[in-house]
Amino acid sequence: MKRNILITGGAGFIGSHVVRLFVNKYPDYHIVNLDKLTYAGNLANLKDIEDNPNYTFVKADIADLDEMRRIITEYKIDGIIHLAAESHVDRSIKDPFTFARTNVMGTLALLQAAKEYWESLPEKYEGKRFYHISTDEVYGALKLTNPEGIESPFTTAASSEHHHAYGAEFFLETTKYNPHSPYSASKASSDHFVRAYHDTYGMPTIVTNCSNNYGPFQFPEKLIPLFINNIRHRKPLPVYGKGENVRDWLYVVDHARAIDTIFHEGKTAETYNIGGFNEWKNIDIIKVVIKTVDRLLGNPEGYSDELITYVTDRLGHDMRYAIDSRKLQRELGWEPSLQFEEGIEKTVRWYLDNQAWMDNITSGDYEKYYDEMYSNR
């Protein structure tokens, strides 16, 4: 094989899209998918490529240093794309220690294992790359200075006429870190460790910070798949506060394309922000989802509006995230490929067409299956 690439968290939402892209696009790469298969990991996400000759799945915990040493050495890994992370803010508020263990200590174990193996080779770091995927939440929050929205200052091939910006400030690669939740604090810490391994040991690292993703195979605790499923079952649609919080949304396949581009063409020790140039208030995106689901289910327009239920706001709920990803656009030529309305249409159709996948997740049957599969190994 031309390269041996370790992708961590490859059974999760974003990770499965990255694994699929690399397995299909690079038949001369050996792609090793490492996942602990916690609640958000599901190998059903990769059924279509699981028998490919250039694909291997390994069940392991990134925080197990000895196991990371064994895997990186055994598979002669020369590139790591690190996506494995606990990522749900609400869960981090209830259980911050799990987030610190996985996101901080897990990243540190990966870095150390890679460092030891690569430094043992004659060529050392030549041709190696440690690519760490992070979040825009490490930057903190932006003020909502234009509540009604203004025309976005950004233009891309996928720009939507409905796209607005809700402030004049945007997260840049140079924005000071200011995490507000245990989740974002754990990711900020892991980012710092990655950069420290470059500055201290010369490890060839890259960090990217991405905005909210949406699309197929997302675990249904997240807003869009949760609401699609709740509309289907006529369950309440819980909206934090007044739904005024603003997020920048990116279709997950476009994120996978960005990761591919940056892994191969990005500059060592650089940071790249990845965003959709696509800000939406939560309440507005919810209304788009409701309208799309009702239309595709054959419901009359407005049929599911009554399901909207306003609930107590999340602790420390950041008001606005907005990414300026023009550096990535300018230096490496990447930009989003889909307008948001097209992406939402594709996303809703996928969940409605794959109800068995959703039911398997929401019932918990998939976890029992993996527990039994790996209990004797």
Q: For this structure, is 321 an active site residue?
A: no
How many residues can be counted in the chain? 377
**Phi, psi of 280, deg, nearest 5:** -140, 140
Structure tokens at 226: 């949760």
Q: For this structure, is 74 an active site residue?
A: no
- What DSSP string runs through 39-107? TT--GGGGTTTTT-TTEEEEE--TT-HHHHHHHHHHTT--EEEE------HHHHHH-HHHHIIIIIIHH
- Out of 125, 131, 166, 183, pick the active-site residue: 183
Do residues 142 and 323 lie in contact, with contact meaning Cβ atoms separated by under 8 Å?
no
Do residues 167 and 177 lie in contact, with contact meaning Cβ atoms separated by under 8 Å?
no
**Phi, psi of 163, deg, nearest 5:** -75, 135
Q: For this structure, is 136 an active site residue?
A: yes
Using CA atoms of 146, 318, 13, 56 in order, give the dihedral in degrees to the nearest 10: 120
- Out of 35, 61, 136, 279, pick the active-site residue: 136
Using CA atoms of 84, 266, 276, 244 in order, give the dihedral in degrees to the nearest 10: 60
- Out of 137, 244, 254, 335, pick the active-site residue: 137
Residue 299's Cβ-count burial label (10 Å; 0-12, 13-18, 19+) is: middle
Residue numbers annotated as active site = 136-137, 183
